[in-house]
Amino acid sequence: MRVLGIETSCDETGIAIYDTEQGLLAHRLYSQVKLHADYGGVVPELASRDHVRKTLPLIKEALAEAGLSGQDLDGVAYTAGPGLVGALLVGATIGKSLAYGWNIPALGVHHMEGHLLAPMLEERPPQFPFVALLVSGGHTQLVAVEAIGKYRILGESIDDAAGEAFDKTAKLLGLDYPGGPRLAMLAEKGNPDRFTFPRPMTDRPGLDFSFSGLKTAAANVIRSEGNDEQTQADIARAFEEAVVDTLVIKCRRALKETGFKRIVIAGGVSANKRLRGALEKLMASQKGEVFYARPEFCTDNGAMIALAGALRLAKEGSTELSVKAQPRWSLESLAPIA
């Protein structure tokens, strides 16, 4: 089954074509970073307009790269949520319209299910069951995954997501948008012994997260210690280590609770080198395995949507007639597939 994937949930337009027998055939990604940089964050209306401009040209490029036409496809998958409702509606409307014109099924895909399944695009995909750590700008979740669609939320952030905390702290440090990756780069120059930040909610049982207090702790140090280059780097290092340690502690608890020996990390923050190294060390100590996607498939992309859509369309088909867009959508509400 060949499926066109369309991702327009936020500030990246991702297009891909995935074949269930041959794998990924084409992949295109356009980032709106320059568009939103002057505002220090994503402006929803501008994001939607840019998706309108970019989606169809990128689809044409992907089809040309794969040497296919619309008539060669078996389905269209588009991100139906969670995300910015205007941006979601762009991809949903285009995807549904193309599918109608080509007389093939279209399916709305859960954005976080796409992230969760992205490591399956790699040569060594994870086997079920596993614990998934989903860490992005909008989500921080621990999920027990027994099969596609069989998800149980073990814990999630009660305020800022990890990626959101990275971006906000980077902004406090005066770093340009997008701040998270820039903070991680700055942290490489930092002294790990100068500052120590709290590891929030690790002194109590449970698997939920909270990063707003950590951000406040960083803000207090930034105000009191000045803002020279080395101090910035030292604060970035302490902040990054606090986030990584917190995530690893909660992952260890989730593995103990489930008894699973595999962990998958996905979402934009899963590209963080310190987090990957810490989880590799954790799983080595437990004789387990850790899986993640290559960096280009950690951020929002069309490949993960095409993959998730292909797996679902191959098993359950689609009878949807209306355009589907859900800004909020629980993973646990998804139907399992055999």
Binding site residue list for Fe cation:
111, 115, 300
Q: Which residues are annotated as a binding site for substrate?
A: 134-138, 167, 180, 272
Taking a C-beta distance cutoff of 8 angstroms, is the pair 28, 18 a contact? Answer: no
Q: Which residues are annotated as a binding site?
A: 111, 115, 134-138, 167, 180, 272, 300
- b/e sequence 162-188, b meaning 16+ C-beta within 10 Å: bbbbbbbbbbbbebebbbbbbbbebbe
Nearest C-alpha neighbor of 187 from the set 242, 134, 138, 224: 242
Residues 6 or more apart whose CB falls under 8 angstroms from that of 60 comprise none
Give residue 67's region: left, alpha or beta (phi > 0; psi -120 to 50).
left
Retrieve residue 153's tokens. Answer: 């939320």
Distance CA 39, CA 107 (A): 34
The number of angstroms, rounded, from the C-alpha of 197 to the middle of its chain's C-alpha atoms is: 25
Q: What's the Rg (C-alpha) of the chain? A: 20
Retrieve residue 203's tokens. Answer: 């002194």
Distance CA 69, CA 240 (A): 45
Q: Which residues share a beta bridge with 2?
A: 19
Torsion of CA 74, 79, 80, 81, to 10 degrees: 160
